[in-house]
């Protein structure tokens, strides 16, 4: 795990991770890398959530809420 993340997790064990990805497959790959570090994203955003279909595909593939933070105001409910 990178030193920055080790220090962050040591100081904030309840850290929230927002993953930004270009597409659903990229989000899935990044989620796997985070899992190998012992972390998991709480939310996925980015271009992979630009349309309802992309949002749904990303959520189903990764099992993590996928929300377009630019367009969607429902993200306040998650935190």
| pLDDT tens digits for range 48-65 | 999 999 999 999 999 999
pTM: 0.81
Determine the pLDDT at residue 45: 95
- When the pLDDT of each residue in the chain is averaged and rounded to a whole number, the result is 89
Mean pLDDT of 18-27: 96
The position carrying tokens 């100081």 is 11
Residue 66 has pLDDT above 90, yes or no: yes
- Residue 12 pLDDT class (50, 70, 90 cuts): confident
Q: What are phi and psi of 2, to 5 degrees?
A: -60, 150
């Amino acid at each position: 795990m990178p030193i920055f993340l080790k220090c962050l997790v040591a100081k904030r064990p309840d850290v929230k991770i927002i993953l930004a990805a270009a597409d659903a497959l990229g989000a899935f790959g990044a989620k796997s890398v985070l899992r190998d570090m012992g972390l998991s994203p709480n939310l996925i955003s980015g271009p992979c959530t630009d349309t309802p279909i992309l949002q749904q595909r990303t959520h189903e593939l990764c099992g993590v809420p996928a929300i377009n933070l630019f367009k969607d105001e429902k993200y306040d409910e998650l935190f």
